[in-house]
Each structure stands twice: as C-alpha cells, then as structure tokens.
C-alpha cells in the first residue's frame, strides 16, 4: 500500500482510505461477515484508514466499525467520523452526538473529525452553536487529533470557511469528470492556496466512473487492457500533488482488491493516459443527465 508523509499534518497516511458508507448488504442490513472479511483484508494489506459518519447505513456503519476495529491496536489504524451538523438544533446537541459516536465506535478518540457536508446553511448552524470552538475543545481534550470538514457548495463559501477558521484538512469531491465539468479544480486550488491537505471523496463519482458505456470504455481498454476502469479514476486523482488520502466506498471484496492493487505500488498517471481521460470526458459530456453521487 502506497504511504505518503503529509508535511502539513506531520504524519504518514495510506493513500487509499476505506469509506464505510457502501458496505456489503444482506436484507438491507450490513452483511457482517462479508464486511468483516473486507476490513481484515484491508488491514492485512496496509489500508488502515477507515471513514464513517452518523447516517451511513442508517447509523449501523459506526456500530459495525466499533465491533470490528477494537481487536486491533488502536494506534495501528486511523478512524474518521463526522458531526451530523444537520441534526444540531439546540445547545448540548453537539456534545450528545459526539459522545454517542465515541460509544458506537468503541473508541476514546477520533484521528480525524469533520463537520459533515458543509454548505452555506450549515455554516450558519456552525456559527450559531459555536461548533468550531466545540471541535477545538475536543481537540484540546485529546478526543480529536485533526479537525476538518467535508464540503458541497460554491467556491465563495469554501474560501470563506478556510480563510476565517484554522482547519487541519478539508474533504472534497474530486474526480476527473467533476474536475472538468464542475468546480472541483477551483476548490482544490483554494485548498492549495491556504496550504490545506485535500482528502478526496467520490473519486469514481459514486460508481459512475467505474463502469462506462462501451463506446467510452474502449478508449481506456485500447490503451491498457489490464487496467480496470475504476483504476483510471483512482490513479488520476491520486496523482494530484496536494492529495493526502483518497476515500473509496467499496461494497465488495473485488472492488477492495482492485483498489489496493492500484495503490500497491502506485504509478502516477502519465501524459498519454491524461489524453485518454480527456477523450473520455469529451464522450461523457454527450451523456445527459450525468447521475449525482448521493
């Protein structure tokens, strides 16, 4: 597994992160045995960063990780969770949810903790209930090591957030389609401007970039018959210089193994491959509508 030392954070992180939002399911519940097998395989192969959130799997994702990860030495893995800011309605709610998350995850601290899915309206909630100060308090108590937020809104809102508050990292949706078609490139550059490491979510755009139409995929398979379609997206975003980790919400062992193979070792995307991706994006522009990642 490719590891990168992040100079802003002062730690080494695996380039690939395990997003626990699309775990294997059986009868609309997490398929516990299959998901445990995936976590164990990840740990055995150096993928030791796990990302969850309060609503994932209707609240079961945190509980699942709280059952599986404690068998490992706590210092051997990174655990990330997110404050459900959309549930904060009154004073004391932040403390309540944070303590609940610690309990569900069976941990005494989170390595990384984010305000979840920030936008203009949620900035107002953050300010009304002093949630930034709450994060600083928990960091001072040793219950959070690094504070950040994930983001889904316009460039101005992002720049205001990173210029008015001191964060350790920011999580953005970045992939080769959004880079060209939406604001991913500009938002990535905002983080570079403020020297903030970028944590990536949705590198394959909720699965959209893992299985393309045959007339689109052919450009990739003609260049490299061995590479999976997903691996192109993972390698593209991982080749950006200010990327700390790339989260992937893997739902089966095949996807997990493919992503680990892509990162073991990691080979940056080359100029010829970038031209292939340019062609793919041109083809995708003809497909309307492009699905969202929710």
Q: Report residue 178: phi and psi, to 5°.
A: -65, -30
Confidence (pLDDT) at 293: 55
Triad 79, 74, 10: Cα angle to 5°: 65
Residue whose entry in the numeric block shows the structure tokens 């139409």: 213
Q: How far apart are CA 278 and CA 264, in angstroms?
A: 25
Instruction: List the chain residues with pLDDT less than 50.
Output: none
- Return the bridge partners of 110, or none: 144
Count of positions (residues) in the chain? 294
Can you give the pLDDT at residue 180?
Answer: 79
pLDDT for residue 138: 99
Domain 3-284 annotated CATH 3.20.20.100: yes
Summary mean pLDDT of the chain: 96
Domain ranges for the chain: 3-284
What is the reported pLDDT for 82?
99
> Could you identify the residue written with the tokens 């706590």?
74
What is the pTM assigned to this prediction? 0.94
pLDDT of residue 247: 97
Say what the pLDDT of residue 191 is. Answer: 98
Write the DSSP assignment of 15-42 as a string of letters: SEEEETTS--EETTEE-HHHHHHHHHHH
pLDDT at 27: 87
Note the pLDDT tens digit of each residue in 67-84.
999 999 999 999 999 999
Q: What is the pLDDT of residue 178?
A: 93
């Amino acid at each position: 597994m490719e590891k990168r030392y992040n100079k802003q954070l002062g730690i080494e992180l695996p380039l690939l992160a395990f997003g626990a939002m699309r775990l294997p399911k059986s009868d609309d519940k997490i398929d516990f045995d299959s998901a445990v097998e995936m976590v164990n395989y990840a740990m055995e192969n150096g993928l030791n960063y796990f990302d969850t959130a309060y609503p994932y799997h209707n609240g079961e994702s945190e509980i699942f990780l709280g059952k599986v990860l404690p068998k490992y030495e706590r210092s051997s893995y990174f655990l990330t969770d997110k404050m459900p800011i959309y549930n904060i309605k009154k004073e004391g709610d932040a403390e309540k949810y944070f303590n609940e998350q610690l309990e569900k995850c069976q941990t005494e601290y989170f390595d990384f903790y984010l305000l979840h899915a920030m936008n203009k309206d949620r900035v107002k909630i953050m300010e009304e209930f002093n949630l930034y100060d709450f994060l600083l308090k928990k960091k001072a108590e040793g219950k959070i090591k690094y504070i950040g937020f994930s983001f889904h809104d316009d460039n101005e809102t992002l720049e205001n957030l990173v210029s008015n508050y001191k964060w350790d990292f920011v999580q953005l949706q970045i992939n080769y389609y959004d880079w060209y078609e939406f604001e991913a490139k500009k938002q990535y550059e905002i983080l570079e401007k403020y020297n903030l490491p970028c944590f990536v979510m949705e590198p394959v755009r909720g699965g959209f970039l893992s299985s393309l139409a045959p007339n689109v995929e052919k450009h990739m398979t003609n260049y490299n018959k061995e590479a999976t379609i997903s691996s192109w997206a993972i390698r593209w975003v991982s080749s950006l210089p200010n990327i700390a980790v790339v989260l992937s919400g893997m739902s089966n062992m095949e996807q997990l193994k493919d992503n680990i193979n892509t990162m073991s070792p990691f080979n940056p995307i080359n100029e010829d491959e970038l031209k292939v991706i340019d062609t793919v994006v041109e083809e995708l522009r003809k497909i309307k509508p492009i699905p969202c990642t929710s």
